[in-house]
Structures are given as C-alpha cells and as structure tokens.
Structure 1
C-alpha cells in the first residue's frame, strides 16, 4: 500500500477508534456497573419521553426497606445480590413497556406505559433472595404516580408525587400495598 495513503488514513482511523472508546465510556457512565440499569442521567431523558408519549404511563419509586440491616447481617456481597435481584425483577416487570433505573444506593425507579400491575411488581420484589445458601428476606416500599394524576406530564412532578406515595407506604409499615 502507498505510504501517502496510509499516512492519510491513520489519523481518521485513530479518531474513529477514539470516538468509539468515548462512546462506550459515556454509555457505561449512564449505566450502573453493579445492576446494569440506567443511572439517573441515563434514565431521565427516556423517562420524560415515555411519560409524555404514553397516556397510561406511570412513574414508580422503589426503596428497599432496612437495606442497611441486610449488609450488616449478611455482608455486602449479600446486599449486592439483593440489589442485582431487585434490578432483574424490575427489568422483567418493565419488559418492553418501561425503563427501569437504579437511582443510587437502594433506590430504584421505573417509568412504564402500563397503568396496572404494581401489586404484582411488589409481590415479586418482596420475594426472598437466595445468596450463598441463605434466603434473605426483602421488603420494598413502592410509590406510584400515574400520568393521569398530573395536570401536565412532567417527570419532576411525577417523581415528587411518587416519592410522597413511597414515604406514605413506608409510614404504614413493611410489605404494604403501593400508594398512588
């Protein structure tokens, strides 16, 4: 091959590789490394779009109750197993109609085009997790806001309403029905 051709192609190839590496790093930054779920930054745009486009949309906030006790009693590897199981269960429940996220720590979120099934999600999330031969009890508090409950389909308003509902659920004890 001609040296001039090689010299002219190499910078373009270098930039293409550099761009690909940056794109992968950005994608990883928008994904939680433990669960593979979207982080808040990766989730927000998708959630806003779905909330606006789906008349039956719902926004959920999920908090693992007494998560610190799981880490303290069973160890951090067990806590990680509970987080991974929660993420997998939430992802399966969302299916193709929703987008799950791990907002941080033991807090998750989802936006879905379906307006029902939250009771089923809670029952699934509250199933024990098997880790190293031990069944670990899991309890969640879930807050839900339906798009139809909002004057305008704004994600910040939906998250605020879901957060309020989640704390109402926490106030009524563990393993309660989700609040809307």
Structure 2
C-alpha cells in the first residue's frame, strides 16, 4: 500500500471510531439505565412520530401509587425492583403497538398507535399485580391517565401529555384502581 494512502486512512479510521463511540453514547443517553425504557428525549421523538402517522394514537401517563411508602418500608432495592417490574409490564403491554418510556422517579409514559387495539384493562391488571421480592409479595398499584389524540383540537404531544396528566390525577384522586381517559 502506498504510504501516503495509509497516512490518509489513519485519521479517517480515527473519526470512524469516534463517530461510533458518540453514536453509542447518544443511544445510551436515550435509555433509562435502571429500566431500559426510553428517557423523555428518546420517547418524545418516537411519540411525535406515532401521533403524526396514526390518527387513533393515544398517550398514557402512569404513576405508581404509594411508591414512597414502598421505598420507606422495604428499602430502595425493593423500590428499584418495583420500577423495573412496572417498566417490563408497560413495555410488554405496548408490544409492537407502541413505545414506553420513563419520565423519571415513578412516572412512566406510553404512546400506542391504536388504543382500540390495546387492552387497557390488561394493563391495569398487570400494573396492580403484586411483585414477588425477597421472599415476600410487594403490593403494586398505579394510576393511569389516557388521552386519545384524536379528541384534541390539535393533535400534538404537549397537549396529549397535559390531558393524560389531568386524567391520571383524576384517577389518583378517586383512589380507585384503574385508569381514566381524558375528555
């Protein structure tokens, strides 16, 4: 090989490696390290895309009920186990119909292409199933707020999140197991 060509390839190889490292770092920054779900930034891009392409899309907000008490009573490792279990249950429920994310703390979010094709009762049941942990059974409960994007005056993610948030707090305020849809 010509030494001039080899000398020119070394910097190109360096840039290729550097680009690969940056790509991996960006991808990992868009994933929550505990649950593996998308972070707010990673989820938002997917949710906006879903809302644009699917008129029957819905946005859900999920908040664990009594999470602080669980953490205080059973410890942070149990709290982490509850977060991981909730993430797994939400991810499984979304399947190929949507995308789940973790906003932070005990708040989760999901977008589904078609709420009619998703079994909301199955999600509620999964989120309320006790979690086996260290020889005991941890009680899990969650409040779910739902916004059907088609019911909004303008189908945008910001408004859908606000409506799902209001519906979630209404469900939490009623103290009932289950979910509440906006509208």
After TM superposition, is the score higher than 0.5?
Answer: yes
What is the CA RMSD across the aligned residues, in angstroms? 1.2
How does the TM-score come out when normalised to structure 1? 0.95
Alignment equivalent of 1:176, drawn from 146, 167, 178: 178
> What residue number does 2:17 align with?
17
Deviation at 1:133, TM superposition (A): 1.7
Q: Do the aligned residues in 2 keep the contact of 1:62 with 1:109 (CA within 8 Å)?
A: yes
Quote the Cα distance in structure 1 between the aligned partners of 2:51 and 2:102.
Answer: 18
How does the TM-score come out when normalised to structure 2? 0.94
Q: Do the aligned residues in 1 keep the contact of 2:148 with 2:160 (CA within 8 Å)?
A: yes
Q: Do the aligned residues in 2 keep the contact of 1:140 with 1:174 (CA within 8 Å)?
A: no
Indicate the SS of the match to 1:108.
strand
Quote the Cα distance in structure 2 between the aligned partners of 1:54 and 1:176.
Answer: 25
Between the two proteins, the alignment pairs up a number of residues equal to: 180
After the TM superposition, which segments of 4 or more aligned residues of structure 1 sit over 4 Å from their partners?
Answer: none
Indicate the SS of the match to 1:178.
strand
Quote the Cα distance in structure 1 between the aligned partners of 2:9 and 2:38.
Answer: 36
Deviation at 1:140, TM superposition (A): 0.2
> What residue number does 1:98 align with?
98
Cα-to-partner distance string for 1:15-71 (whole Å, 9 max, x where unaligned): 000000001001111110011111001111110111121121110000001111111
Deviation at 1:101, TM superposition (A): 0.3
> What residue number does 2:164 align with?
162
Q: Do the aligned residues in 2 keep the contact of 1:122 with 1:178 (CA within 8 Å)?
A: no
Q: Do the aligned residues in 2 keep the contact of 1:143 with 1:167 (CA within 8 Å)?
A: yes
Gapped runs of 5+ residues in structure 2?
A: none
Gapped runs of 5+ residues in structure 1?
A: none
Change (3 A) 1:50 1:37: same
Indicate the SS of the match to 1:145.
strand
Quote the Cα distance in structure 1 between the aligned partners of 2:77 and 2:88.
Answer: 16
Cα-to-partner distance string for 1:130-152 (whole Å, 9 max, x where unaligned): 12222100010000000221112
Indicate the SS of the match to 2:20.
helix
Q: Do the aligned residues in 1 keep the contact of 2:170 with 2:180 (CA within 8 Å)?
A: no
Deviation at 1:178, TM superposition (A): 2.9
Q: How does 1:52-67 map to 2 (within 5 A)?
A: 52-67=52-67
